[in-house]
Chains A and B, each alone.
Chain A
Amino acid sequence: KAGVTQTPRYLIKTRGQQVTLSCSPISGHRSVSWYQQTPGQGLQFLFEYFSETQRNKGNFPGRFSGRQFSNSRSEMNVSTLELGDSALYLCASSFGEGKNIQYFGAGTRLSVL
C-alpha cells in the first residue's frame, strides 16, 4: 500500500511569489491535513479537508489556502510569500472518522529568499 506522497520535496522561492504544494493521500483515506513545522514550534495546524470540504482551519492568514479533489488529493497554496513562511510543510492523511490516526508524508521543505 503506497504511503502519503508530497511533491515537490524541496522548493526555493523569493518573497512575493506564490507556491503550490501537492499531497496524494493513502488510498481509501478521505481526510487530508496540512501542518507547518519550524524549529522549536512543533507542528502548527493549517487546515483539514474531508470529502472535498474544508472541515477545520488553524490560525494562519488568508494567504494560506487549500483544496481537495474528488480523488482525495489535496493542494496547498501560499500567496505573497514572506521570509517567515520558510518551513517544512507536512501533509497527513487519515480515514477522517473514528480514531484520528494520521499518516504523514515526507514533507515539502520551502525556503523563501
Chain B
Amino acid sequence: GQSLEQPSEVTAVEGAIVQINCTYQTSGFYGLSWYQQHDGGAPTFLSYNALDGLEETGRFSSFLSRSDSYGYLLLQELQMKDSASYFCAVDRGSTLGRLYFGRGTQLTVWP
C-alpha cells in the first residue's frame, strides 16, 4: 500500500526556523510536493522536488532524498501568517494516479 507520514502538529515562535518531515512509501514516484492550507482556505502549492537536494524559494526550502524516501519543508524567519496546515504529497505520475497526500502538519507560530 501507499503511506505518507508527517507530524500532526508543530509549534514555534516568530523568527524561528522549523522543519516539517515527510517519509513516504509508494509504488511509483515522480516527485514530492508541498502545499499550504490556511484555516477555511484552499491548499496552495509551495514546492516540488523531483531530484535529490534542496530547492529554495524565499523563506521556504524543500529537500528530497529519493534513496531514503524522505523529504522535508524548511520554513525560516517564521511569521504569524505562516500558521497553517502543511501537506506533503507524492506525485506517482499520471498513469499510476494522482497526488497522494499526507494527513498534514498543523503549524502554529506564536508571537
Binding site for B on A (CB under 8 A): 4, 31, 33, 35, 40-43, 45, 48, 50, 55-56, 90, 92, 96-97, 99-107
Contacts and interface: CB of A to CB of B under 8 A. Distances in A.
B36 to A, nearest CB: 11
Interface of B: 30-31, 33, 35, 41-45, 48, 50, 87, 91, 93-94, 97-104
Given A42-B103, A45-B99, A99-B50, A104 B43 contact: yes
A5 B63 CA distance: 32
Contacts of A56: 94, 97-98
A72 to B, nearest CB: 16
Given A33-B99, A56-B98, A100-B31, 10 more contacts: A31-B94, A45-B101, A48-B97, A50-B94, A56-B94, A56-B97, A90-B42, A96-B94, A99-B91, A107-B42
Contacts of A55: 94
A98 to B, nearest CB: 9
A104 B33 CA distance: 14
Given A99-B31, A104-B44, A105-B42, A45 B103 contact: no
B91 A100 contact: yes
21 contacts: A33-B99, A42-B101, A42-B103, A42-B104, A43-B43, A45-B98, A45-B99, A45-B100, A48-B98, A56-B94, A56-B97, A56-B98, A92-B43, A99-B48, A100-B33, A100-B91, A100-B93, A101-B45, A102-B45, A103-B45, A104-B43
Contacts of B30: 99-100
A37 to B, nearest CB: 9
